[in-house]
Structures are given as C-alpha cells and as structure tokens.
Amino acid sequence: MATTLTCALIHFIFSTKGRAALITPDVEPALFAYIGGICEGQGCVLRAAGAADDHVHLVISLGKDASMSSIMMHVKKDSSRWMNDRGEPRFAWQDGYGAFSIGMSQLATARAYLAKQRAHHQRVTFMEEFEDFIRRYEVDYDPAFLWT
C-alpha cells in the first residue's frame, strides 16, 4: 500500500489543577473551538467534547503521525495559555490524563454522553466517573497515586 490510512479514536479525560471549578458554560464553546484548532495543527481531529466545571472529555481522532502524549502536551499547554490570556490567570490543567480507545461505532454514544456532562455531574463526581472508566477499561493503577 502506497499510503498510510488511520482511524484511531481516543477518549481523553483530564481535570483542572486541583479540580478547581474554572470551566464555565460560557467559556466552553470557545475553549473547545480553540482545542479543535490545536488538534488540527497537530494533524488530528477533535470529534467530540464535553465539560463540567472541573474537567473535560475530548474524543480525538489521532493523525497518522500523532502520539497521545504529544497531542495532550499541545492541548494542555496551549489551552492553558489561552485561558490565562482570557483573564483566568490561575488556570492550569492537572498533570496526567486518562486515555481510552473507542471505535467509530461508539462515536455517537460518546457524543451524547459528553453533551450531558453538566447534568451527569449533578449525580456523579468526577472522581467516581473516572474510577468507573478505569474499572470498565480494566486499567491497572495504584490508588495511592490516582488523586495526588
């Protein structure tokens, strides 16, 4: 085959530093548009996004030359700078992130789930939600280091 074709969808989850409630509904559309531009600049596509006050979910289609760590470095660094430039001088993302693979057949379900994040988190905390993802994806982890 003379070309490389890929379709790798990754559901990323990460929170604000200290899980500070700094992502307001009014900033969400512009933040996600900005993150979409960062993704494009890295050869990736932002397929879906959702947020609550203290964390975001992004479904990103990784480009053929992108790595998860590289796209997260760019997304977090550049969007933090953007948030600070918009007048949120203490804005920062947590260290680390969760990354979970999904198939194209799951994209519509993921979009619907992300669209309802604020309502979802009236019943479930971010920590409960993230630990549920870890269990469902059977990720090995040390609980002592999960929330430090």
Write phi, then psi, for 112 (nearest 5 degrees). -65, -40
pLDDT for res 1: 65
Q: CA-CA distances (angstroms) from residue 19 to 51, 52, 65, 126?
A: 12, 10, 31, 9
pTM: predicted TM-score of the whole model, two decimal places: 0.95
Q: Give mean pLDDT in consecutive 10-residue pieces for the chain, a chain of 148 residues.
A: 89 96 96 98 98 97 96 98 91 96 97 97 95 95 84
Write phi, then psi, for 45 (nearest 5 degrees). -130, 125
The CATH fold of domain 8-146: Alpha-Beta Plaits (3.30.70)
**Beta carbons of 126 and 55 less than 8 angstroms apart:** yes
Structural domain boundaries of the chain?
Answer: 8-146
Burial 44-76 (b: 16+ CB within 10 A, else e): bebbbbbbbbbbbbbbbbbbeebeeeebbebbb
